[in-house]
Structure 1
Amino acid sequence: MPQFMDVHTHMVGVTAEELAAAHQADVEIQGDEGVDFQHAWADPRTGHVFCLSEAPSADAVRRIHERTGHPADEVHEITVTA
């Protein structure tokens, strides 16, 4: 299944607890779209949050994030790794 890295750019000041809650909200409904959210990282200073997932499409990732109230600004398919 394809992997995706999505980026949120408006989460300045996000705490570890808020990041965990947002990730959990995604995980709770991820099956509706066949998505597997695997990990999330944040930089509270810049407001950037990055989420790694496996999904059938970028649109599936977008729909889950939109439904949980934190839409992604960008979704990138990972096609090359080292």
Structure 2
Amino acid sequence: MATFMDVHTGMKGITSEQLMAAHKADLAIEKEEGVHFKQAWADPESGTVYCLSEGPSADAVRRIHERTGHPADSILPVPVMVS
């Protein structure tokens, strides 16, 4: 499976509770597209949210986000990672 980082903008003022609700909505249906959302981060001041996921394609990630009502502005492949 490939890894992706997606970026959402326009979410100024997002709270941790709202971020968790959006993340849980993705988790609830992620298996339908073979995606797994691993983690999410938010900057309430700028309104930017980032999500790290694994899945078969960026389109599969995009479809989940669209279905849960928070489409991504961009979805970038992450071909190399270290931890």
Query: What's the TM-score bracket when you normalise by the shorter of the two chains?
Result: over 0.9
Alignment of 1:2-21 (within 5 A): 2-21=2-21
For residues 16 and 80 of structure 1, the distance between their equivalents in structure 2, rounded to whole angstroms, comes to 28
User: Cα RMSD between the aligned structures?
Assistant: 0.6
The normalised TM-score by structure 2 is: 0.97
Alignment of 1:31-50 (within 5 A): 31-50=31-50
Structure 2: stretches of 5+ with no match in the other structure: none
Alignment of 1:1-82 (within 5 A): 1-82=1-82
Structure 1: stretches of 5+ with no match in the other structure: none
Identity %: 63
Instruction: Give the match's secondary structure for 1:59.
Output: helix
For residues 81 and 6 of structure 1, the distance between their equivalents in structure 2, rounded to whole angstroms, comes to 15
The normalised TM-score by structure 1 is: 0.98
